[in-house]
A and B are shown apart, each in its own frame.
Chain A
Amino acid sequence: MSKLYDYLLLLGDSSMILGHRLSELCGHGPNLETDIALTNISLDLFGQVRNYFQYAAEMKGEEATEDSIAFLRLPHEYRNVLLAEQPNTDFAYIIARQFLFDAYHLPLMEALIESKDEQVAAIAHKSIKEVRYHLRFSSEWVKRLGDGTEVSHQKMQEAIDYLWPYTKELFEETPLEAAMKTEGIGADLNALKVKYDAHVQGVLAEATINIPETPFAHSGGKNGIHTEHLGFLLADLQYMQRAYPNMAW
């Protein structure tokens, strides 16, 4: 398969895995409004994934469909960032994960609207409006919890501390991403990092949250090396297609 095909999977996988994590919260949000918000964000992410995977399936040809790409791969064939697969714990943690991802996702889409590949640019144009809204939502909640009560502050700080080591990977350029950047199709991760840092630092300062100083970082997701959480997630995500191959609604 072409590099572009692999790149589409890399882009789509992070949205799909995070979208699935958020879908697990359907009916479990802390209140009705946040429950609906998180599942709405999930729906947007899945919509974006469909765009990537439909394009990828067209490129692959044969019998490939968006569903076969989404459901019928093994864990090491998924290229999502590790941040996306981290499990749901408390609300502060869910918001922190969303905030860190959105802060990376928005400049990524801003870069991809300039992509030389027309369809990638079109998908980014479509997604960017939604991602901007997601970032607004998650940023507001980081501030509300961080600068809220003593308990909410502590929980937000713990969540940021825990997830911080997963953020470095977002900007670690893989050979695939380097090649796509050179071809003018993919994004320049260094340029994204500047925008990401500015936004994240601004929001965390307003939220009275300290930026962790740990030099330690996890990585591997973009190369198919995942945390133990992905296997369990996929067992759930893939269940229907594995149990009833080719089933359709």
Chain B
Amino acid sequence: MTVVVNEVIELIREVSDPEIPVLSIMDLGVVRDVEVKQKDVLVKITPTYSGCPAMDMISTEIKYKLDQAGYNTTVKLILAPAWTTDWITENGRKKLEAYGIAAPLEASADKMALMGESRMVKCTNCGSTNTVLVSQFGSTACKALFKCKDCLEPFDYFKCLK
């Protein structure tokens, strides 16, 4: 039984966030529960942001992958408890940084960074903290746009959500 669950988990791990292809949805923390009963699988996922356009694609991919492996899959979207950036795994944070997206800070530090009161967000290109907020909203709902004042590169910052 445990072996079967592991196989299912490994298959789900292959699904990535379409907006951040390097990040598995397991590392993103959106998979909340997996129930396996013989060949019936119920996967519960939660959205990062309410309007996240990736959720439909993620559900479809989970279903496709598991169905291909012979399972009968149902994907259910649950809202409570609401997703927080704390659920991004340590591995996920490393992958984000390597991909060029600064990982979320702690809530209080995040607020100060987004209000432009403190320099804590590290440039993903050169590592300098001499960075400035360009826009509270970035290329997707979960990101804000920053610019490094040392190497002058713009980069995304994954906003803290609690």
Please give the residue numbers on chain A whose beta carbons come within 8 Å of chain B beta carbons, in ascending order: 33, 36-37, 40-41, 43-48, 50-51, 118-119, 121-123, 125-127, 129-130, 133, 136-137
Q: Which residues of A contact B3 (CB under 8 A)?
A: none
With A48-B50, A130-B50 already in contact, the answer to whether A122 and B80 are too (CB < 8 A) is yes
Query: Besides the contacts A45-B51, A48-B51, what 13 more A-B pairs have beta carbons closer than 8 Å?
Result: A36-B137, A37-B137, A43-B53, A47-B47, A48-B50, A51-B50, A51-B79, A119-B79, A126-B50, A126-B80, A126-B82, A129-B82, A129-B162
Residue of B50, B52, B162 with highest tally of chain A CB at under 10 A: B50
B44 nearest CB across to chain A (Å): 13
Interface string of B71-97 (1 = CB under 8 A from A): 000000011111100000000000000
Q: Which residues of A contact B134 (CB under 8 A)?
A: 33
B56 nearest CB across to chain A (Å): 9
With A47-B47, A48-B50, A130-B50 already in contact, the answer to whether A125 and B137 are too (CB < 8 A) is no
Can you give 29 contacting A-B residue pairs, CB < 8 Å? A33-B145, A36-B135, A36-B137, A36-B139, A37-B137, A40-B137, A41-B137, A43-B51, A47-B51, A48-B51, A50-B50, A51-B79, A122-B79, A122-B80, A122-B82, A123-B79, A125-B80, A125-B81, A125-B82, A126-B80, A127-B50, A129-B82, A129-B161, A129-B162, A130-B49, A133-B136, A133-B159, A136-B115, A136-B136
Classify the secondary structure of B's interface with A: loop
A15 to B146, CA, bound (A): 29
Residue of B80, B114, B159 with highest tally of chain A CB at under 10 A: B80
Q: Which residues of B contact A45 (CB under 8 A)?
A: 51
Classify the secondary structure of A's interface with B: helix
